[in-house]
Structure 1
Amino acid sequence: MIAVQTNVKVLYVEDEPGARDMLTRLLKRRIRDVKVAKNGQEALELFMAFRPDIVITDIKMPFLNGLELIRHIRAIDEHVQIIITTAYDDNDFFIRAIEYGVNHFILKPIDHEKFLQSLQHSIYQRQLELELEKQKQYTRTIIDFQENLICILNEERLLDCNLSFQRFFGKEQMEQLRAGRTHVCDYFLHEPGYFYMKGERRWIRPLIDRTIPFLKVKLMCNRGEEHVFLVKATSFPDEQESYLVVFTDITALEEESKRNEFLATKDPLTKTFNRLKFDEFFTREIQRAKRYKHTFSIILFDIDHFKKVNDTYGHDVGDAVLVRMCEAISNRLRDCDIFARWGGEEFIILAPATSRTGAYRLAESLRHLVETVHFPKVGHITCSFGVCEYEQGMTKEQMVKRADEALYEAKREGRNRVVVNE
């Protein structure tokens, strides 16, 4: 399920009234800012004024057909996400659409689940692009305004440097550098994701040769604080053995990037993994199970009569119930278990190296746990669980379907129980 998007703008184009009304309602339940056009010409005018993040368009339309509309849009904006809804099913059409940079194809009649998956992917891609652009702006700001560490090096020693460089390394390390007893690369910290080349003083050469545009390194200043830098270098025109090296501090940007990476993988309310990240773990676990003949299980569950909680106490209380329940369950799970929000009040757990018997025991313990937790205002709630163990050759979709069938059976048998798909 897509949470309501307040920072995404969507333009939807469809000339057929019935299809337009149906999909418009679906969109407006999930996207706050939606504009609708009845034909290609109207859509192009709206695009110019509205500048949406995502365009969803039919192909066969009066005045200006969908492919012509897309061609005009791509001339204006290369990054906008484009989803086509069409009854066409021929290779020439798809080749032309791909040439125009279409991101997703949805064949009519529209499968709402597939459509929402495509929409979610487009939202995610657009947000990544915006975040990347934001980070680029941060980098430019840092380069323009921060006091960079600037030094002149040859392959043997430090020749000169600015005050920021001296303050960063401190008196003792500066003496070592100036005397040639140490080199700048000797202070690079050896950590994954950062450039490291201990004792190799030709580390600048790839920057000078333009083999790579920059290096990302981590250094510790004389006060014991770790900083991350982007390193660029150039040689002097008449002195090919001397290099001007600039260290641009991107520590704040790196921390922001890691925070954004965290947010991109988590459900903002419950802090469990989101569906997109869970799918990555799920794919990896199936590949591992195929390769090593291991087994694992998934547990799909939801809260019984949760709509009644929202209707009786309001969505704020309902949200508090979700948060409290997820905290309790997270504390009970193993470190290797993957816990994610599947949608609404429905959640999923991936339990590595766990048979259906072990998964049943885990689900039963969680069922009992939830049943005993006291929730403010609401009191007590219950959950129903469906369990499926991986069998060789199964796909993700098949596992989820079986777990969902087991969950449905648990509901049908009276709720607050665990059912294992056999």
Structure 2
Amino acid sequence: MFNSVIYKSIFENVDVGMAIADTSGQFIKVNKKLCDLLEYTKEELQNKTFQEITFPDDLENNLKHIQEIQNGIRDSFTIENRYINRTGRLIWIDLIVTAIRGDDKDIKYYIGIIKNIDELKKTQVYIETQKNLIEELLDQQPNMVLLLDTSKALFMNKVMLAYFQCDTLELFRQRYSCVCNTFVPNEHYFHTGKIKESKNWIDTLLELPKREQIVMIESLQDHKCRSFQISIGEFNDKYIINFTDISERMLQQHFLEDKAIHDTLTQAYNREYLEQNIQNLISPSIQLAFTIIDIDDFKKINDTYGHDVGDKVLKELVGVINDFSRKEDVLVRWGGEEFLLLLKIEDKVILQKVLEHLRRSIELHKFSVVNKVTCSFGATFHDSCNTWEQTFKLADIALYDAKTSGKNQIVIK
């Protein structure tokens, strides 16, 4: 069988290693390419078995496939394993083994085709090692880190998995189709409701100023919402996203913003808030009532009990008004003992009933130290033909009438 000139030419000159072995694994014939790969002479290699040159950790799998051929389950197999060369160096090879049978169906010998894939495997090992190193470094980061391709999460570091109480990335994928679905809707933060039509969340976020690239996410560890500054890096059509916890900074910022628009003593809104937001509150389609509330004889309270007690009265009064008010009502401390209450009311009759209920609630409330306090009310509806300042002036005139008419009453202009 080895006398064919064509066969010999192919066997010796093909660009891969080739070998013929008997049923025990003893090499019968090997070509030059295989000898060069393993650094043996033909004579040396043909005195060995394939078991001798196969790395022990890979041999069991080889023998398993050989056994399957002998049992008639298959006639060939392909496998990646390592051979040991003359110097003891391991070489990764891609091995194809085919059984050649005689007329009696018994195996006569095996033909092996051996391709050197050592450099490829080294490259794969290097890439995998670098990947594992990068993932290990990312796992050491205190921030949450995510790698994704637009929407699908490809990697998530341990800090982020723990934040969502997920043991594996696969579990996270099962719970959330996209990480953006974890963003809590809040007007101060980026969330899915702000994604522009025909754009993904990353492109929309990147169009925002850096100070607005902030999201709020609820932790499944303690069910608290935290604020995160997002930074995004792009490479090879993928994104690496870093979530930096800035909750303390945002709390401080919200505190300062809240402080800037609220009266320090009573926590009602202040005049600065009104001036900044009045145009958003006024609408031609909404009946908005301006009501000025003034504490009767407040100077007497300060003179009799002292300013500390006067401050308590102001705070208690705001509490009474807040208990009475609806969520959309706006209470502003205008100055001293004077407050402005903005109410969305349909008509004058309803406004009269609402304010009378509030007036009685204040009158019947038992204030600490002074016991009883009354207030006068001056109200009017905003007309779109007027500025808000003009409407306020009309309410102030109505308040003056209430004061001069005996106090503790309501006048609507």
TM-score under structure 1 length normalisation: 0.54
CA positional deviation for 1:345: 0.2
1:191 to 185, 193, 206: 185
Which stretch shows the higher mean deviation, 179-188 or 359-368? Answer: 179-188
Residues 1:353 and 2:345 are matched in the alignment: yes
For 2:244, give the aligned amino acid. T
CA distance, structure 1, for counterparts of residue 291 and residue 394 of structure 2 = 10
Structure 2 equivalent of residue 414 of structure 1: 406
CA distance, structure 1, for counterparts of residue 207 and residue 390 of structure 2 = 49
* Distance of aligned partners of 1:211 and 1:374 in 2 relative to their CA distance in 1, 3 Å threshold: closer
* Distance of aligned partners of 1:410 and 1:346 in 2 relative to their CA distance in 1, 3 Å threshold: same
For 1:323, give the aligned amino acid. K
CA positional deviation for 1:245: 2.7
Q: Does the residue aligned with 1:191 lie in a helix, a strand or coil? A: coil
Structure 2, gaps ≥5 residues long? 1-140
Deviations 1:146-188 (A, max 9, x none): 81123444458655554423433455442346x9997763653
Residues 1:150 and 2:145 are matched in the alignment: yes
Residues 1:393 and 2:381 are matched in the alignment: no
Structure 2 equivalent of residue 314 of structure 1: 306
Residues 1:274 and 2:266 are matched in the alignment: no
CA positional deviation for 1:322: 0.9
Residues 1:301 and 2:293 are matched in the alignment: yes
Structure 2 equivalent of residue 121 of structure 1: none
CA positional deviation for 1:224: 6.1
CA positional deviation for 1:352: 1.0
CA distance, structure 1, for counterparts of residue 259 and residue 149 of structure 2 = 43
User: What are the residue-to-residue correspondences of 1:341-380 with 2, within 5 Å?
Assistant: 341-380=333-372
* Distance of aligned partners of 1:368 and 1:248 in 2 relative to their CA distance in 1, 3 Å threshold: same
Residues 1:167 and 2:159 are matched in the alignment: no
- Contact 2:180/2:201 (<8 A) preserved: no
For 2:379, give the aligned amino acid. V
Deviations 1:343-391 (A, max 9, x none): 1100111121343333233333332322222222223222222121233
Structure 2 equivalent of residue 262 of structure 1: 258
- Contact 1:183/1:201 (<8 A) preserved: no
* Distance of aligned partners of 1:340 and 1:162 in 2 relative to their CA distance in 1, 3 Å threshold: same
Q: Does the residue aligned with 2:308 lie in a helix, a strand or coil? A: helix
- Contact 1:272/1:340 (<8 A) preserved: yes
Q: Percent identity?
A: 31
CA distance, structure 1, for counterparts of residue 175 and residue 294 of structure 2 = 64
- Give the greater-gyration-radius structure (CA): 2
Q: Does the residue aligned with 2:319 lie in a helix, a strand or coil? A: helix
CA positional deviation for 1:320: 0.6
CA distance, structure 1, for counterparts of residue 390 and residue 209 of structure 2 = 45
Q: Does the residue aligned with 2:267 lie in a helix, a strand or coil? A: coil
* Distance of aligned partners of 1:354 and 1:263 in 2 relative to their CA distance in 1, 3 Å threshold: farther
Structure 2 equivalent of residue 245 of structure 1: 241
Which stretch shows the higher mean deviation, 412-421 or 311-320? Answer: 412-421
Say how many residue pairs are matched: 267
CA distance, structure 2, for counterparts of residue 337 and residue 315 of structure 1 = 28
CA positional deviation for 1:404: 0.9
Output the aligned Cα RMSD.
3.6
For 1:383, give the aligned amino acid. C
Residues 1:216 and 2:210 are matched in the alignment: no
- Contact 2:329/2:342 (<8 A) preserved: yes
CA distance, structure 2, for counterparts of residue 167 and residue 395 of structure 1 = 55
- Contact 2:156/2:169 (<8 A) preserved: no
Deviations 1:65-109 (A, max 9, x none): xxxxxxxxxxxxxxxxxxxxxxxxxxxxxxxxxxxxxxxxxxxxx
- Contact 1:166/1:174 (<8 A) preserved: yes
* Distance of aligned partners of 1:324 and 1:184 in 2 relative to their CA distance in 1, 3 Å threshold: same
Deviations 1:283-326 (A, max 9, x none): 3343x12xx3x433211121122111112211110011111122
Q: Does the residue aligned with 1:268 lie in a helix, a strand or coil? A: coil
